[in-house]
Chains A and B, each alone.
Chain A
Amino acid sequence: MATGAAIAVENVSHHYRPPKKRPVHALDQVSLEVGDREFVALLGPSGCGKSTLLYLIGGFMPIESGSIRVNGNLVTGPGPDRGVVFQHFALFPWKTVLGNVLYGLENIGVPREEARERAQKYIDMVHLTGFEDAYPNQLSGGMKQRAAIARTLAIDPDILLMDEPFGALDAQTRGLMQEELLSIWQRTRKTVLFVTHDVREAVYLAERVVMMTARPGRIMESVDTRFDEAGPGVMDRPEFVEKASYIWNRIKGEAIATVAARAS
């Protein structure tokens, strides 16, 4: 089944089965295609299974039904072709920032000198210069997140799976990092699947926004969000504002459903 899609998710469902508790139906018959070099944002209420979907594509958990293909191959395990930025950073606490960034480079066999250079380049890029020898415990939440982003970008994966990568950043850094991500994407044309809660961020960064329903997560709608104009200025354009508010309203209903479900 050779499609041109970089990521092809077909009828995937997922249950969590915590010991001695009721199973949680996290994903229900999800199908999603992300084209080669496409930038897709995934939006949905909290707890709808966005992270779960990303973990399945990453190959971290067994797929219980349906199938996931990456570049045409069935996913059966993790690999450095899919770089993952985790929601909660997942930095190795016993390694310094530099050690964390070097880690993947060493694994994929980059020679020492070149690895050092590349690591430094990405550390500089996320504005952590001077913190190379700091341990994760000595960093703020936003700094940890930037270190995690540098670690993933450094191994230059074809596909980027990013789980709210900018969630812990302040507004200014967030803006800078968004521009940085866009310019990397434009330069290297990676395939990006980007989970976020921020509607404007999704509409601004992505070519396409995919919305999910509340738990059990299903794909609700997919909206094209390409605009003629590039750059942050686009956010003030009427067509941008219109798209964003359309998506916002669609998501809001689901969010209310989630809150109501929690309360009951």
Chain B
Amino acid sequence: MVATACRYSPLLLLALMWEAAVRTGLISDLVLPPFSAAVEGWWDLAVTGDLFPQAFASLRRAALGLGLAIALGTTAGILMAWNAKIRVFINPLIQMFYPLPKSALIPVTILWFGLGDMSKIVLIFIGCLLPIVVSSFNGARGVEDVLVWSARSLGASRRQVLWQIVVPAAMPEILTGIRTALAISFVLLVSSEFIIARDGIGFMIAGFGEEGVYDRMFACIMTVVAMGFFADRLFQLFMRRVLIWRE
């Protein structure tokens, strides 16, 4: 507890510097509300406004898109490693779409799926899919031959080898890929909500920015930052539990 407080104390220092810079007039409060005002704005939004429902709507989009990408991406990646014929057909598509900055798809997803949830979920799904496919493929392909062989000589069938050897051996890389995808999902979420949306935390940030309500804008930004941070922390905890054998 104390150690954590100590570790994160520079953040507090940063907040104090922010507060002081505005209070002393070093930075005009027209372009930067003092930290305390942002905290107050957050509190107002939290108790009276709809900060939490909006944040939840956003989280739901990210979770659905990412969840779909995990389900399909890990399957496709492992199958690609497992079967050379499948690989020949999927790989070119991956090579083609991998380098595309996925934010370029925002206008099209809106064109196809409208302004609501669907367009964001699809965008996040597409954006997260490829990193997960690629990392699952690399993980599954990197499995050492001797592990597969020893499972086979211990009586495992080819299908059992897939589940009992290939999947766990690939797990570290799969989880690393999912962690990358998690970060991408937040970027695409906020971006697409900035560009066209009717609700969501990104929509709120953009809206308060346009109206010039900067304390609330900063409050929402801090909320998104916290969401990204805690999602990643939780996932890291999960990763560590799953991968205890790596110690």
Contacts and interface: CB of A to CB of B under 8 A. Distances in A.
Q: Please determine if A and B sit in direct contact within the complex, based on CB atoms under 8 angstroms apart.
A: yes
Interface in B99-143: none
A83 B246 CA distance: 27
Nearest to B246: A137
Interface in A47-69: 55, 58-60
Interface in B157-178: 160, 164-165, 168-169, 171
Interface in A71-95: 77-80, 82-84, 86, 88, 90, 92-95
B245 A58 contact: no
B149 A86 contact: yes
B247 A84 contact: no
Nearest to B158: A77
Contacts of B45: none
Given A90-B146, A92-B147, A93-B246, A108 B155 contact: yes
Contacts of A94: 168-169, 171, 245
Nearest to A151: B154
B156 A90 contact: no
B154 A58 contact: no
Specify the main secondary structure of chain B where it touches its partner.
helix
B102 to A, nearest CB: 32
B147 A83 contact: no
Given A95-B245, A135-B244, A137-B247, A83 B169 contact: no
A90 B150 contact: yes
Give the most central of A80, A82, A92, A108: most B CB within 10 Å: A92
A80 B154 CA distance: 5
Specify the main secondary structure of chain A where it touches its partner.
loop
Nearest to A157: B153
A59 B247 CA distance: 33
A107 interface: yes
B247 A60 contact: no
A165 to B, nearest CB: 13
Contacts of A59: 152-153
B153 A83 contact: yes
Nearest to B247: A137
Contacts of B154: 80, 83, 103-104, 107-108, 151-152, 155
B145 interface: yes
Contact of A107 (B146, B156, B244, B247): B156
B50 interface: no
A82 B153 contact: yes
Chain A's interface size range is 20 to 34
Interface residues of B, number: 22
A155 B156 CA distance: 12
Give the most central of B153, B160, B168: most A CB within 10 Å: B153
Nearest to A88: B146
B151 interface: yes
Nearest to A93: B245
B153 A79 contact: yes
Interface string B217-247: 0000000000000000000000000001111
A94 to B, nearest CB: 4
A90 B145 CA distance: 9
Nearest to A58: B153
A78 B146 CA distance: 12
A66 B164 CA distance: 33
B247 A78 contact: no
B144 interface: yes
Contacts of B146: 86, 88, 90
Contacts of A90: 144, 146-147, 149-150
A107 B155 CA distance: 5
A140 interface: no
A60 B244 CA distance: 30
What are the 5 A-B residue pairs with the smallest beta carbon separation, nearest first? A104-B154, A107-B155, A78-B152, A80-B155, A90-B146
6 contacts: A55-B149, A58-B153, A90-B144, A93-B246, A94-B168, A94-B171
Interface of B: 144-147, 149-156, 160, 164-165, 168-169, 171, 244-247
Given A84-B149, A103-B164, A107-B155, 13 more contacts: A55-B149, A60-B149, A80-B155, A83-B153, A84-B153, A86-B146, A86-B150, A92-B151, A92-B168, A94-B245, A96-B245, A107-B156, A135-B244
